[in-house]
Amino acid sequence: MSKQAQKLHPTIRPFYPDAKPIPTEAKNASLNTLSHKVQESQGEDLEQARHNLLWKLMGEYIPAEKDSVQLSFVNHMEYTLARSRFNLDAFSSYLAVSYSVRDRLIELFNDTQEYFISSKAKQVYYVSAEFLVGRFLRNALLNLELEDLYRKSLAELDVSLDQIYNEEYDPGLGNGGLGRLAACFMDSLATLNLPGWGYGLMYSFGMFKQIIGADGSQLEIPDYWLNFGDPWRIQKPTVCHQVHFYGRCENGVWKPSLTINAVANDFLIPGFGTDNTLALRLWSSKPTVELDEEKFRGGDYFQAITMKQRCENLTSVLYPNDNTYEGKEMRLMQEYFMSSASLQDIIRRLKTHQKQDIRQLPKYAAIQLNDTHPTVMVAECLRILMDEEDMGLLEALEITRKVFSYTCHTLMPEALEKWDVPMFQNMLPRHLEIIYQLNQYYLDDVRAKYHVTDDVIRNLSIIEESNPKKVRMANLAVIGSHMVNGVAAIHSELMKIYVFKDFAQLEPKKFINKTNGVTIRRWLHHCNPALSQIINRVVGDEKWALNAEGLTALTKKQDDPNFIAEWEAVKLANKQHLAELVKKTTGVELNPEKQLFDIQVKRIHEYKRQQLNIFSIIYRYLNILEMTPAERAKLVPRAMIFGGKAAPGYYAAKKLIKLINNVAKVVNADKNIGDLLKVVYIPNYNVSAAEIIIPGTDVCEQISTAGTEASGTSNMKFAFNGGLIIGTHDGANIEIGDAIGNENVFFFGEVAENVDTYRAAAEHPIPAGLRRVFDTIRTGLFGDVNEYECLIYPVEHGDNYLVAKDFEDYLDAQRRCDEAYKNKEEWTKMSIASTANMARFSSDRTITEYANEVWGIHECKLPVVEPIEASGVQQMGVGSVGGSLRRHQSAAFAEQAPSSNGPTLSKGTYGSLSRKSQIPVPAAQPVQDSKNDDHDGEIEIDYN
């Protein structure tokens, strides 16, 4: 509930569903009177009387008052959880509080959706295989500006809000930067009042929970994050679409042999500084028939439920291991399942809510494909338009291209998905026919318009002529989209040069850059409250959390000794919190006051070069052993902290984790080293851990091989929190250096344009220091020598990731970092400069650019109704009279809705900065009846 809503007198909401002026009878009569009226009425009068009563029952927002919070909490404890309100354990208290907060989100979400529909607003649909959302409770309370109210209200019931925060499980809905970016984008969409939805999959077990075995190896166990339910998940069994697989095609008619139901699960995403609330819709797989009745009657109970289990397993795990045929098949099934269900839902919304013909889809929908996982959606769209809407290929392709845009997140060839044609044909036979038809049309069109070679045609083709042939999903996305973007300036240029060279030469305007960003609500305001408080004092209020340009005010304090001391104190407190996490998860004790905290937390991959980091740590350890006491006294003590998961089938990455942990065992047990060097590996790195790690970081490692990291977003999170960067000229590091000053980044290493030349060289010398490291590993000091050859051999034979090439320059960057840290005042000035100049890397800026330049969507902010005399309506289920009346509803706002040519968002402000505005509600106008249409393969009751 917004602060503005708390200040307003109770405000009457427009009448629904007729959208007529609110009858005087409904406004002034009591619930008792209206109830009697229903009992006495007949015919049209009965319908009107029911509408009056329904409006009156839900006329108010849940009040933002202590009594309301407490009553809602105990109601959910007793009625939702069936627990005694006199026995409040921590986990049950977390659930009850979450349901209480969710009630408020549901009100706002329903009103937001009604307003979008009545406004006939074009919406964006962000489709992603993962959404790494993190915990919901605190984020929701902070965005709703209710944390203080809930903390004080619950304290009277002997419930600690801070304690129950830790009862929430991190949702297993994502893994790395791709999923976290999607979550940041959803936060920005809601905060900027932009109409949209997120679409993905409802994973039962996530990727996996990482534990570190006694020998230092990564062990994967299921992530049972849903074992005790999830209060933020709103299951919608009435929103269900049928998705088909396998079978055969006869004369262009698909006859599938397997059908699975996609059932909606919604997670609500509140905006900050606004009442607008969006939804992330995730699909769970369910059987169309619960069991095989014939087998059940025959007593074969296990076989009777086999199909049910197979269907439900489809959305069990994020990224099945694709080292086997079965794993590849399940991954493709997941991607098509997500794509088909999401597209059916989008089209249903167009036809049911907007009452529009399918040819109007580009006017009402923009679909953003987040990487190659959902790109089969292009083929599915063509299939629906051609087979179900009776269009020809050209008309279907024109509509499809206007709707879709595609984000490429990689320069790594192996990350651009390709599917074997035989497997694709077996699973999606009709889609393969359409892909061949599209491919033939596109290549013929290119030949007719341009003078191109056969090599160019081969590169442009959706079908790779290998053995077996493969379907190139990235090429399908490029051909079926009107816009393709990279995610950092250097990445977008390299993408045009290497990944989509021939496409970019034919259609250069199709390829653009949209540098990634992160939400500063979660990644500064929420995760670093102490730093946020001193920023508030400098800026004047919290407006910087809505417009990151406000952070530039910190520059005027950069030379203030008192402010520098305050900044250092906040950093030390955050380092102490991080040290507590390290102690709890690894047992290793750190020294926050003396040690420089050096962090590398991200997915484990050779191109991200955790091996370069651990090799340098071994080098540092060997040097310390040889130093005199006088030399040691000059050293900056270091705590080297790692975290991140390796894919279960990625052998080298898993051995790298084992090496890091075994180096840690040796170093941390060496009493001759003490606090001069500690090495730790935090297991099961996730969003909640990141919210502690990032504020407590002195310097972070962004050391990918130049030209391999698309953008990276962890670099942005660290920099917003004043963590400095040791990094290569790669991804967003370059743009961060441009923004905060290259003098505030410890750059090193080869640049991207020279990488190919180095790789092609006949020899790749190993520096003496690195050779010594390899020799030490091969002595067995850190365990079985043979296990680490997969890390050493590639460096000695080809050095594909430039570990040998960059090693000495990397050591020099570390030395420069140490020297800078010795001067704490100058170091802190660099830290302040980092935070002050990071505005460009807010995801609000990124989303504003997408909205204006790619999607063509406009701000659609819930209006605030003029306050009028209170009606004294009682809020059912809360028991409090008064409060803030619900003030948004359906077509009553249609006259205020932005047109399709409405104002674009300002790049300077990134949308509305406050909830202060009060917009009068126009007289309600009649609208078309919105009864649901019938559609094959779906059940639909809920208007959302």
Q: Distance between CA atoms of 71 and 96, rounded to whole angstroms?
A: 11
Residue type, 45: D
CA distances, 580 to each of 161, 162, 407 (Å): 20, 16, 39
Using the structure block, give the residue that is written with the tokens 């909205």.
851
Alpha-carbon dihedral 203, 207, 212, 215, rounded to 10 degrees: 130
- Round to whole Å and give the CA distance between 398 and 361: 11
Question: Which phi and psi (to 5°) does residue 929 adopt?
Answer: -60, 135
Query: Is residue 608 flagged as an active site residue?
Result: yes
Active-site pick, 37, 521, 717, 840: 717
Q: Which of 713, 728, 835, 848 is catalytic?
A: 713
Question: Any idea which residue has 């969003």 for tokens?
Answer: 687
Peptide bond into 17 cis (omega under 30): yes
286 is catalytic: no
Nearest one of 939, 860, 890 to 345, comparing CA atoms: 939
Q: Which of 56, 353, 603, 858 is catalytic?
A: 603
Other beta carbons within 10 angstroms of residue 210's beta carbon come to 22
Q: Distance between CA atoms of 450 and 446, rounded to whole angstroms?
A: 6
Contact 810, 769 (CB under 8 A): no
Active site residue 501: no
Do you know the residue count of the chain?
Answer: 944
632 is catalytic: no
Distance CA 358, CA 3 (A): 41
H or E stretch at 452: none
* Three-state secondary structure call for residue 595: coil
SS3 label, residue 638: strand
Tokens encoding 382 = 């063509």
Find residue 939's DSSP bridge partners: 240
Q: How many CB atoms lie within 10 A of CB 304?
A: 18
Give the number of other Cβ atoms within 10 Å of residue 894's Cβ: 17
Spatial CB neighbours of 28, under 8 Å, sequence gap ≥ 6: 871
Which DSSP symbol is given to 608?
G
Pull the structure tokens for residue 258.
């397997």
For tokens 């007949």, the residue is 42
Give the span between the Cα atoms of 356 and 352, in whole angstroms: 8
Residue entry with tokens 């408020």: 104
| Catalytic-role residue among 510, 602, 729, 861 | 602
CA nearest to 888, candidates 276, 281, 352: 276
- DSSP letter at 509 equals G
Structure tokens at 664: 């840690």
- Asked whether the beta carbons of 199 and 281 are under 8 A apart, the reply is yes
Tokens of 85: 């309100």
DSSP code for 874: B
Q: Which residue among the candidates 353, 608, 655, 858 is catalytic per the annotation?
A: 608
In whole angstroms, give the CA distance from residue 829 to residue 573.
18
Nearest to 882 by CA among 873, 891, 890, 892: 873
Q: What share of the chain is helix, strand, coil (3-state, %, to 5)?
A: 50, 15, 35
Write down the residue that tokens 């001759």 correspond to.
Answer: 672
In whole angstroms, how large is the CA radius of gyration of the chain?
Answer: 29
Examine the residue annotation and report whether 717 is marked as an active-site residue of this protein.
Answer: yes
Task: Estimate the crossing angle of helix 147-155 against helix 90-119, to 10 degrees.
Answer: 150
Q: Name the token pair of 254.
A: 């698909």
Q: How far is it, in rounded angstroms, from Cα 752 to Cα 184?
A: 28
Q: Annotated catalytic, 655?
A: no
Beta bridge pairs of residue 643: 601, 682
* Contact of 404 with 396, CB cutoff 8 Å: no
Tokens 């008064």 locate to 882
Active-site residue set: 409, 602-603, 608, 713, 717
